[in-house]
Structure 1
Amino acid sequence: MPGGTYTLVLQRDARGPITVGALGEFTFPAGWYAYTGSALGSGGFGRIDRHRAVAAGDNDTRHWHIDYLLGDAATTVERVVTTEADVECAVARRVDGPTAEGFERIDAFGCSDCDCRSHLIHHAQRAQLVGAVTDAHEAVRDAPTDE
């Protein structure tokens, strides 16, 4: 199975606190989230199936920060955007660009193995978030060395 970079577009239908492993407790507002990760190992994009299983309650194992958010009943996976390249940080930074009004970075989330500020972004509106995710993936596909 091929691998690369993926962004999960998540909907959260209620505000509430979630303890995220060693990061501690976060209060996640209702709205839309984009989580960008990599699937570069032997299972490739099969990791997305694992994320869906956590979100569906079929897998209780928590390895990554995103598992805690996905494991909360108020969170669902709405869509996944993929790029078959190792561009995780470039995509995450583009989704959370400096002029991205209304986008809220969840600091330290999903980026313990890089120097990014976050790999999880929140926005109240679906269309703006999905547009930013799609644009970010398209931009790195056009210039995949722009990391």
Structure 2
Amino acid sequence: MVKGTYTILVNLPEAATVTVGALGEQTFPAGYYAYTGSAFGPGGFARVDRHVEIAAGDRDARHWHVDYLLGDTPARIETVVRSPEVDVECAVARAVADVGETVVTGFGASDCDCDTHLHHATAKDRLLTAVRSAHE
């Protein structure tokens, strides 16, 4: 089982307001989102498959903040960037922050001191370039 760090690039075609677990009701503008997570727990990168299932409507259980964005909006996962066997979750999230904006403080970052692990941009290319560069 392969473990590591991943970033999901999500397209949200229209603005949405969603209740995100303990973070409460949050508004997400339309655009692109980069969510960075850790897959060092049981199952490793199978966690990414679970996120894909939620986005596709094939799974209902919401366990992580990103599950609400993926399952309760018309969001689509466009790509996933992975860094196998490397724990760089916070480093990637901080690097992506240089090109993306914070929409929800604390999103995906309840177990670290980062502001957020979810970054928004209106332009896909710049955000995706930052994600790939951060994972290298």
TM class, shorter-length: over 0.9
Deviation at 1:42, TM superposition (A): 3.0
Amino acid at match of 2:60: D
**CA–CA separation in structure 2 for the residues paired with 1:9 and 1:122:** 10
* Paired residues of 2:93 and 2:116 also in contact (CA < 8 A): yes
SS in 1 for 2:113: coil
The equivalent residue for 1:45 is 45
Question: How far off is 1:41 after superposition?
Answer: 1.9
What one-letter code is carried by the residue in structure 2 that aligns with 1:47?
Answer: R
Corresponding residue for 1:145? none
Residues 105-134 of structure 1 show CA distances to partners (whole Å, capped at 9, x for unaligned) of 131110000000000000000101101101
Determine helix, strand or coil for the equivalent of 1:135. helix
Counterpart CA distance in 1 for 2:108 and 2:55 is 17
What's the % identity of the aligned pairs?
57
Structure 1 residues 1-147: aligned runs within 5 Å: 1-84=1-84, 85-97=86-98, 100=99, 103-106=100-103, 107-138=105-136
In our comparison, the structure showing a higher alpha carbon Rg is 1
Gaps of 5+ in 1: 139-147
Q: Is the 8 A contact 2:10 2:77 kept in 1?
A: yes
Distance 2:14 2:93 in 1: 24
Give the root-mean-square deviation of aligned CA atoms: 0.9
Alpha-carbon separation, structure 2, partners of 1:21 and 1:76: 20
CA distance in 2: counterparts of 1:62 and 1:52, whole angstroms? 12
- d(CA) in 1 for partners of 2:44 and 2:65? 19
Taking structure 1 as the reference length, the TM-score comes to 0.88
Cα contact 2:16–2:73 (8 A) shared by 1: no
3-state secondary structure, aligned to 1:129:
helix
The 2-side partners of 1:42 and 1:112 are apart by 19
Count of aligned pairs between the two proteins: 134
- 4+ runs deviating over 4 angstroms: none
Q: Distance in 1 between matches of 2:57 and 2:43?
A: 21
Amino acid at match of 1:25: E
